[in-house]
Structure 1
Amino acid sequence: MHDRETGWFRGAGGIVWQMDLPLPEVMADQLTKGYLTRVNQDGSPYAEKSADEPEQPPAANASKAIWVGYAHRVHGVPIDDAEALTKHDLMELYGSKG
């Protein structure tokens, strides 16, 4: 019997697989950046929070990986393009303007 919490994830190839939670650091980084997407077992979108709740920009002290993921998810920036920018550039382009 499997007594660990697990989650289902889809990678770039579209394959959905189950992984133990919490994810290993390398996989968590891939999830944060958007290379992996958490899904339900059937591959349907996994919703952790209300869909009508807009995602806010990360805090200034958040890691670059979090900013890359944010730019990809919220602003549609291709992951490789977001990775090529510095954290400062990501903050300037996609952070709060206020």
Structure 2
Amino acid sequence: MAETIYLRGEGGGIHAMDLPLPEPIEERVRKGMLQRVNEDGSPYVEPAAEEPTDTGKVPDPGTQVPGLPLTEPTKSATKADWVGWAVVKGATPEEADGMTKPDLIEKYGTPSTT
């Protein structure tokens, strides 16, 4: 049986979606255009991850925007991943989606030292 999650759409409606998400929906989640919420529309909080045995550190779930990346994507990552990263860094989803991938990397990526 598929797991069901709830997403708030651009118009504010709450939609039940079965996992895995269809590619276009998953891309909109990565871009920050759709936000994962609880069934009642309240903000979704990822369950606390178990402490990894290899590093001993767990990312603070309070710093994670549900559905958006916690770390900067690689330069070879998709544009959708970079749009999501720009949203984490403060851009609106529409503003970030309107930029090219090279512009997103230049504005929101860590400057290379080479």
Q: Secondary structure at the match of 1:44?
A: coil
Aligned length: 95
Matched with 2:92 is: 78
Q: Would you identify which runs of 4 or more consecutive aligned residues in structure 1 move more than 6 Å?
A: none
State the distance in 2 between where 1:41 and 1:9 align.
Answer: 9
**Pair 52,31 (structure 1): closer, same or farther in 2 beyond 3 Å:** closer
Larger radius of gyration: 2
Report 1:17-36 matches (<5 A). 17-36=15-34
1:52 deviates by 4.2
Unpaired segments ≥5 residues, structure 1: none
Amino acid at match of 2:74: A
**Pair 40,53 (structure 1): closer, same or farther in 2 beyond 3 Å:** closer
Cα RMSD over matched residues? 1.9
Amino acid at match of 1:7: I
Unpaired segments ≥5 residues, structure 2: 49-60
Name the TM-score, length of structure 1 as normaliser: 0.84
Residue identity (%): 45
1:9 deviates by 0.5
Map Cα deviations across residues 11-49 of structure 1 (whole Å, 9 max, x no partner): 011111211101011111111111111111121211236
Name the TM-score, length of structure 2 as normaliser: 0.73
Q: Which structure carries more helix by proportion?
A: 1
1:86 deviates by 1.2
Among 43, 49, 71, which residue is 1:56 paired with? 71
